[in-house]
Amino acid sequence: MASKKDAYAIGRALGEECVRENAELLVETPGMDDEVCEAWSPEEIASHTFTHYSQFSPWEFTAKEFNEARDPDGVWAAFEDGLAVGARKAARAIHKEG
């Protein structure tokens, strides 16, 4: 069964991965017809990417563990906190490397 600590660690690792895989979204880019495509926040990147990621196996097994935890709401909250922290950490690293 997943603990809050485990869920946080999973979220943090996934948040970092989501932002690193989509780093180009952190900066403004020229769009069509002289529009500017606004930069995404690290949290937006992680949330959007996770929505796609969560639709595939093996995520369903992790989600099942979260849902069967003694405190599923707390486990999901810890995961979401970790996701945001990981996303911000990756964004800071990318900006430093930039």
**Strand bridging mode 36-37 / 29-30:** antiparallel
Categorize the per-residue pLDDT at 33 as very low, low, confident or very high, splitting at 50, 70 and 90: low
Whole-number pLDDT of residue 36: 65
Q: Return the structure tokens found at 8.
A: 């946080």
Element (H, E) at 37: strand 36-37
> Which residues, 6 or more positions from 69, have their beta carbon under 8 angstroms from its beta carbon?
1, 2, 3, 7, 75
Contact by Cβ (8 Å): 81, 6: no
pTM of the complete model: 0.85
Instruction: Identify the three-state secondary structure at position 30.
Output: strand
* Tens digits of residue pLDDT in 67-87: 999 999 999 999 999 999 999
Domain boundaries along the sequence of the chain: 4-97
